[in-house]
Amino acid sequence: MPDDAGQQPPEGGKSKPKVVNGRPHDPLGYDTSDFWAYARQVADDALSGRSRGAVQKEVEAVERRLGLRKEAKPG
C-alpha cells in the first residue's frame, strides 16, 4: 500500500520518515550564534531603519498566520 507521498514503503511495511536538512530562508539574515552581538545588531538596525522593509514583511506574515491580517485581493 502506498504511503502519504504515494510511494511504496520498504520491506517490512513501514516507510521511512522524511528528513529535512538546513534552515528556512531568513530575510533578515542575522547570525544568532552570539546572542549579545545578535541583540546589538537587531537594535542598531531597528534604530537606523536599515531593516525596515524586511521587518515589515515578517510582521505581515505573522499577522496573516494569526488571522490578524487579510490577504489583499487583486483588483
Which has the higher per-residue pLDDT, 20 or 55?
55
Q: Answer yes or no: is 6 within a domain.
A: no
Domains held by the chain: number: 1
Q: Answer yes or no: is 8 within a domain.
A: no
| pLDDT of the residue at 70 | 74
User: pLDDT tens across 3-48, in order?
Assistant: 555 666 566 667 778 887 777 777 778 888 999 999 999 899 889 9
CA–CA gap between residue 66 and residue 75 (Å, rounded): 25
Q: Residue 40: which domain range?
A: 35-65
Angstrom CA distances, 36 to 7, 41, 42, 43, 69, stand at: 46, 9, 10, 11, 32
Q: Answer yes or no: is 45 within a domain.
A: yes
CA atoms within 13 A on the CB side of 35: 0
Q: Answer yes or no: is 5 within a domain.
A: no
Q: Answer yes or no: is 44 within a domain.
A: yes
| pLDDT of the residue at 37 | 94
| pLDDT of the residue at 26 | 72
In contact, 24 and 58? CB cutoff 8 Å: no
